[in-house]
Structure 1
Amino acid sequence: MSDKDSGSAIYPPVKSGWFLVVMLTIAYIFSFIDRYILGLLIEPIKADLGLTDEQIGWVIGPAFAIFYATMGLPLGWLVDRSKRTWIVAAGIFVWSLATAVSGLAKSFWHLFVARMMVGVGEATLSPSAMSMIADSFPPEKRGKPISVYVAALSLGSGIASLIGGAVLIWAKTTPSVSVPLFGALAPWQLTFFAVGFPGIFLGLIFFFLKEPPRQVAELDSDLEGNNIRDALTYVSRRAGTYGTFISMAAVMAIIAYSQGFLPATFERTWAWPAEKYALINGVALLIFGPATVFITGIISDRWTQSGIADAPLRLMIVGFLIMLPTAILPMFMPSPEIAYAILCLNTVGIAMISGMAITALLAITPGQIRGQVVALYYMAISMAGLFLGPSTVGILSTRVFGEDNIRFAMATLPVVYGIVPLLCIPLAIRFYRRQLDHMLRQRDS
């Protein structure tokens, strides 16, 4: 049977909705493996290409963000009008091929351009995914499916970490491997090939998937249409609501993307080899990340069904209050074991924000501009996270503290970017509840 929401919205069968969620989650896992793997290969890439921490910061962050962020809005416009499964299929093909090509990089600029194209492909996924998930489940039942999708962040990071750890161990005994057509390749180059090419076949599957019908019940009388100008006008008139709300998610992205430097930080500070960090981190991410988003999603749905309409925002704020101190304290611990134990709590905070932020956003966003607003959200947090996260750590490490003291750069970043959103939490609650009341009135009218 189909689920029915208030109003005239009729949702697809539950099994169909969950099958789509599973496929989108698999795609998200692939995307995050391709995105995350570079951070685990920093030291061999630096050695082979002669790069500095600052250059690595630019490759991890801005190179990926240039198109991942800026393509978001036009892709969101396309999501609101075109076949979303085909958009996802094309995106998977582009980012997978670009990841594989990263393994052929011979210089900083080769790697920079390849990472740009990874960003182009990955920009298609989340706006399409959130649009289709919202069209598959009513508002009071979206917490769990969105949490499943967002769990891919931890799953992808964990799998990438395990792969990276295995490759680093292998690299110590195998300096290079000869590959037909490409000649001798270092283990880090083969890693990009291994994680990139399988995604091409996943992209083909999405060309044949059926997408859910677009819902028309969640509309807003304040909107005349659903083009880019309408979406921008709607958001700008509610700048306080979206600004204070998204600022917390932006800090989460800044901290999360800066953690691409954690393997190097543990190696330089506590002499943990990168492969040891990668293997421990992989297991921990696979345990703490998915468990957190699943539990938080269940709590969010139960609270929402019991009448707490702003439940996702409340849980998001709890995650923010966990995340901020646990990003700073590990860098001053006397041992790597204690430092990493605190970072496990940081993973919990990041996972809570990742899952609840998008759930909260969907609750205050009209259906006819959902794809574009979700794209704006990802554009905002991606620009913040990718431009400010890795590059800030890289610059502070190379120019201020010295590359042997990279931990101080890691500890400084959350303080610099987290204080203002922390102080604005009361405003975020007030603005969000006002917009939520507006949306509830629209649905009841």
Structure 2
Amino acid sequence: MQRDTVTDPQSNNYKWFVLAILTVVYAFNFIDRQILVILQEPIKAELGLSDTQLGLLTGFSFAVVYVTAGIPIAWLADRSNRRNIVAVSLGIWSVMTALSGMVQNYTQLLLARLGVGLGEAGGSPPSHSMLSDYFPEEQRGTALSIYTTGIYLGIFFGYFAGGWIADNYGWRNAFFIVGIPGVVLAFLLLLLVREPPRTVLPNAVENEKASFKETIVFLLQRPAFWWIALGCSTASFVGYGNGNFFPSLLIRNYGLTVTEVGIFMGVISGSTGMLGTFLGGYLADRWGKRDKRWYVRIALWGLMLSLPLSYYTLLASEPLYVVLAYTPAHILNTLYLGPCIAICHTLVAPNMRASASAVLLFVINMIGLGLGPLVVGALSDAYIPLFGEENLRYAMLTALTMGTSGVFFFWMAHRTLLGDISKTEAALTGMTAKS
């Protein structure tokens, strides 16, 4: 008999309930990660920071801990209870976000952000692995894209609420208010979500685990994975680099308040990001039934079509023109991630998915999150003698130009994808035969 209670693990709808919970967790991941971006102008004024220091806080220092801790956590996730790892990680990053409101100097804020990065490292790889076990391959792109919309839910609430709280109650209270609810959510996750059985090959030994070395060797034989990782990294380089300084550009060069920027970034960036991310996964699953290369084509065409709109966004003279160009550009810029994560899971064995996600996120976040904001911040400081008050605008234009290399990387992934999928299918057939 079919069960109707969505929270019943035996219900056909339970996997969608789990997806909803994990998407909310991912939203909190980005609320706590991006809250600093909307608060960085008042923080810069109070603590006397440079743009380079802001780039270190929002990018490199966070990313180093985030990606370094992500690898061993993913290795653990391939061997233990993934639900528990996500819950503990959520609790850690939420507490560290709240503590950020108590800092008195740059060093203390840096240490708090390192703590947030450590906690958030345990969020995505175990969640990716769980969702790949809950959903069949033909629904995986849609599921992972819905999960990825958590980024933009987080951006929406982080920017919208963070800007308003900062203008009305100060930036310190903003950290407290967004950090504490995550601790409550961690307990709800433990109560409501069940660890799914892991996908196994027919006749395979269920308890067999792949070592991290085996996963790396497996991935090294599949160049499409690395081209996808580089394509996502360059898109992320621009997304994080320019995205983290876009609120500052609107405040400095267009005269908007923190609340106004929070509304703009929250509503426009959040809604277009969710639409683009969901649309990317939906179209990839729909068109990918005929040809798996659509999982990469969507990323390639999205990036190519977004470039002229992105340039105009940074060069527009009035806020209205910024909005008109930014809206379609951001939809196109956010098509890539869900399909790329999904197809990377197709390139590996089921017992390698969390580790493969960690490797993918390591490359994306080290290049994108680690270098993007740092490069933009450093260029902004360096461009002051050349461009004066327009320094940040030209730093962001430089980063956008550097990011055009993603077109080449996605094109190379498109060329090599089908051959690498065939290699994986043959390898999985061999594993089944040996068992």
- Give a deviation string over 1:145-196, Cα, whole Å, max 9, x none: 111101111111011111122124315xxxxxxxxxxxxxxx1000000000
Q: Does 1:382 align with 2:368?
A: no
State the shift of 1:78 in Å.
Answer: 0.5
The yes-or-no answer on 1:226 pairing with 2:210 is yes
AA matched with 1:108: Y
1:245 corresponds to: 228
Judge conservation of contact 1:61–1:389 (CA < 8 Å) in 2: yes
Could you say what secondary structure the match of 1:389 adopts?
Answer: helix
Pair 1:115 & 2:113 matched = yes
> Which runs of 5 or more residues in structure 2 are unaligned?
3-8, 431-435
**TM-aligned CA deviation for residue 225 of structure 1:** 5.6
- Measured against aligned partners, the alpha-carbon deviations of 1:74-99 in whole angstroms (never above 9, x if no partner) come to 11110100100100011001000000
Query: Which residue number corresponds to residue 8 of structure 1?
Result: none
Matched with 1:276 is: 260
Counterpart in 2 of 1:408? Answer: 394
Contact preservation (8 Å) 2:311, 2:397: yes
Q: Which moved more, 1:277-286 or 1:32-41?
A: 277-286
Deviation at 1:12, TM superposition (A): 7.0
The yes-or-no answer on 1:105 pairing with 2:91 is no
Q: Any conservation in 2 of the 1:266–1:272 contact (CA below 8 Å)?
A: yes
Alignment partner, residue 418 of structure 1: 404
Conservation of the 8 A alpha-carbon contact between 1:328 and 1:411: yes
Structure 1 residues 423 and 300, CA gap change in structure 2 (3 angstroms): closer
Which residue in the other structure is 2:382 paired with? 399
**Match of 1:22, SS?**
helix
Q: Which runs of 5+ in 1 are unaligned?
A: 3-10, 172-186
Q: Give the aligned residue type for 2:312.
A: L
Deviation at 1:348, TM superposition (A): 0.9
> 1: distance between equivalents of 2:248 and 2:203?
48
Residue 38 (1) aligns with residue 36 (2): yes
Are residues 1:334 and 2:320 paired? no
**Which range moved further: 102-111 or 269-278?**
269-278
How far apart, CA to CA, are the structure 1 residues paired with 2:203 and 2:416? 20
Distance in 2, matches of 1:323 and 1:129, equals 29
Q: Deviations over 1:221-266 (max 9, x none)?
A: xxx961111111112233x322211111101211221211111101
The structural deviation recorded for 1:29 is 0.6
One-letter amino acid of the structure 1 residue matched with residue 415 of structure 2: R
Where in structure 2 are the equivalents of 1:38-437 lying within 5 Å? 38-170=36-168, 187-208=170-191, 209-217=193-201, 226-238=210-222, 240-258=223-241, 259-305=243-289, 307-401=290-384, 404-405=389-390, 406-419=392-405, 421-437=406-422
| Alpha-carbon distance in structure 1 between the residues aligned to 2:334 and 2:111 | 30
SS in 1 for 2:335: helix
CA displacement at 1:324 relative to structure 2: 3.6
User: Which residue type is aligned with residue 247 of structure 1?
Assistant: L
Paired with 2:190 and 2:61, the residues of 1 have a C-alpha distance of 28
**Native 8 Å contact 1:29 1:153 kept in 2:** yes
Q: Aligned equivalents of 1:167 and 1:332: distance in 2? A: 30
Q: TM-score, normalised by structure 2?
A: 0.90
CA contact 1:155–1:285 (8 Å) conserved in 2: no
Contact 2:28/2:182 (CA < 8 Å) preserved in 1?
yes
What is the alpha-carbon distance in structure 1 between the residues aligned to residue 139 and residue 196 of structure 2? 16
CA distance in 2, matches of 1:26, 1:218: 34
Confirm or deny: 8 A CA contact 1:328 1:410 kept in the other structure. no
Note if contact 1:63-1:113 (Cα within 8 Å) is conserved in structure 2. no
Aligned residue identity for 1:229: K
Q: Secondary structure at the match of 1:102?
A: helix
Task: State the partner residue of 1:177.
Answer: none
* Residue type at the aligned position of 2:244: G
CA distance in 2, matches of 1:304, 1:161: 34
Fraction of identical pairs, as percent: 30
> 1:294–1:417: structure 2 CA closer, same or farther, 3 Å change rule?
closer
1:41 aligns to what SS in structure 2?
helix
C-alpha distance in structure 2 between counterparts of 1:286 and 1:109, whole Å: 31
The alpha carbon displacement at 1:13 in A equals 5.0
Q: CA RMSD in A?
A: 2.2
Match of 1:183 in 2: none
Count, aligned residues: 417
User: Deviations for 1:371-413, whole angstroms, at most 9, x for unmatched residues?
Assistant: 1010011111011112211111110111224572211101110
Q: Distance in 2 between matches of 1:356 and 1:60?
A: 26
State the TM-score, normalized to the length of structure 1: 0.88
Output one character per residue of 1:280-327: Cα deviation in whole Å (capped at 9) or x when no partner: 22111342222222233222222233x222221121212222344433
Question: Retained in 2: the 8 A contact 1:151–1:289?
Answer: yes
Aligned-partner Cα distance in 1 for 2:203–2:15 = 21
